[in-house]
Amino acid sequence: MTTIVVDHPLSWRDIAAVAEGAELVLSAPARDRIAKARAIVDSLVEKGIRGYGINTGVGALCDVVIDRKQQQALSRNIVMSHACGVGEPLGRIETRAIMAAMVNTYAHGRSGVRVEVAELLCTMLKLDCVPLVRSRGSVGYLAHAACIALVMIGCGTAFLGDAKVGGAEALARIGQEPLVLQAKEGLSLVNGTACATGLACVALARMTHLADWADVAAAMTYENLGNQAGTFDHETLSMRRSQGLLEVGGTLRSLLAESPLLAKMAGRRTQDPLSLRAVPQIHGAVRDTLSYTVDVVDRELASVTDNPAVSGSVEVPLVHSQAHAVGAGIALAMDNLAVAASLLGAVSERRIDRLVNPLVSGLPAFLTMDSGTCTGFQVVQCTAASLAADNRRMAAPSTLDGGITAALQEDILTHATPGALKVLVVLRNVEEILAIELLSAAQAYDLQSVLDRAATPAMAVWNRIREIVPTYADDRPISDDIDSVRALMSIAAA
């Protein structure tokens, strides 16, 4: 098992690795930072210095002072009242990503939870004790994190392998006792942008993987349909300033090197249609957006997003009430990523249409040799069009949804967590669309009159697909073939 050590702020790749099963361990300096921050909170309590959520209510109740005897009850009550999510649970990977991001937050040494809180999260991750987290009902971060906190105090529900058990039993099975929350810990467990950021890390991992597969799918389609000389040569592409464009161009040149199919068709057309000719420009712009999003997410992981934050010393404790838990930056980045991912699916759907349309492909209608008796790929292109349309609807910005909560105390909302969840749905649709394009391109290879089976690296993917899916002849539900190619994409690099 891979081990990720929390010392300096984690990267998105670290969070994604923990989400997939890597172990998370606190370094000694990280423990020291957490312990120091806890001592500062204890000093604030001892000195009676007012701090939001430490010795006051939360939200619109922020001016209600809570006496020392009730501060433990406040922490527990915050968890209970905030665990108000609805809907189906998040997946194991998504929940683990949020838990890892929570540990990363506490390791900054500004939250004021005890070391035991962060250590319990690490133990739960190590032993794969995954809380049941309701997927819907959060405008920012509160409801999702509260479901995780519930299990930590012996309530709620968790998954241990295939077993679904109560929180107290789950902790007992991994040799842990429920936490008795201290002052501020309830608020710190539900606060900050760990939910949105953890989910964003999962989205980045999936988007990176799908961007590679999109280049492969586009190369396979281009090899079947394209014929413009020099479309992807370095001199031509370098006229435009885009690192993503140059990266995609290099990939396409490698995948299509010395293609006999392209050589056979060379010179037939002055310009290919945009869905073929503009692959470096479109896929490259998507990669540039992905690169920007990586920077935003890594900055978020390096930031203090708990409110309030603490600093100073035990002698001179300081508490900072601010708005760092507002995830406007991560929300905007997720909206941008949703649009970029939707574009990746949209151009793939256009290439699918060109493959199956006999008016432009030069191939048998709908990629079947028995047109009329067999419908072939005619209707599966409709599936791709439907998924692309779904993505267009979901690409509307979550950031502008607005809303007012907490009796006007929270009168602007940026919806960072819903934005990240939306990206994950968009990416699932893109994965389905790309699987359809890969199937369509593989079928097109089968129908070429002259074919060197070892022509290009792009054709090597044809071989991988044909190992699991035979040529299609209306002899089985094509949905099963899509699932098979999706499975190939999920376990293999492009």
Question: Do residues 262 and 445 lie in contact, with contact meaning Cβ atoms separated by under 8 Å?
Answer: no
Whose CA is closest to 137, among 128, 125, 147, 124?
147
Q: Which residues are catalytic?
A: 52
Exposure of 231 by Cβ count < 10 A (0-12 exposed, 13-18 middle, 19+ buried)? buried
The 3-state secondary structure of 332-389, one letter per residue: HHHHHHHHHHHHHHHHHHHHHHHHHCHHHHCCCHHHCCCECCECCCCCHHHHHHHHHH
417: Cβ contacts below 8 Å, ≥ 6 apart = 138, 139, 140, 141, 144, 195, 196, 199, 327
Residue 353, both tokens: 């249409």
